[in-house]
Amino acid sequence: MDRIVIRDLSLRCIIGIDDRERREKQDVVIQVTMHADLSEACRTDEMTRTVDYRAVKKRLVRLVEHSQFLLIEALAEAIARSCLETERVQRVDVLVEKPGALRFARTVGVELTRTRADE
């Protein structure tokens, strides 16, 4: 399976369980790998034969910036589901990181994989 990767998508959202986290948007950094058969796009050089990653990115920005999850696990799941709404995407790997969440650590994150068959 071929892959389209969106790296280091930096967004802000309400995420966390503490009162402060529920009041102020925090940074999250997202990595998305969408698995799809891109052979037709490679062969034809036609946009209609691939995954429109700009449209996926716009959908993710709307989703994340308007979200209010307690857990980054739930945010990662919502991101994965959104990516799988794209017809050609068969599998998605999502990593959501929350920089500065742990003292002495640059970041903490949750990584998950979902497939169209999981739906």
Domains of the chain from N-terminus onward: 2-101 (3.30.1130.10)
Supply the pTM of this predicted model. Answer: 0.95
Q: How far, in Å, CA of 47 to CA of 70, rounded?
A: 37
- Residue-wise pLDDT tens digits, 23-45: 999 999 999 999 999 999 999 99
Instruction: Mention every residue, 6+ apart, whose C-beta is less than 8 A from residue 114.
Output: 77, 80, 81, 84, 91, 92, 94
Please answer whether residues 94 and 111 qualify as being in contact, where contact means their C-beta atoms are separated by less than 8 angstroms: yes
Mind listing the pLDDT tens digit for each residue in 96-115?
Answer: 999 988 999 999 999 999 99
Query: pLDDT category, 117, cuts 50, 70, 90?
Result: confident
CB 92 within 8 A of CB 80: yes
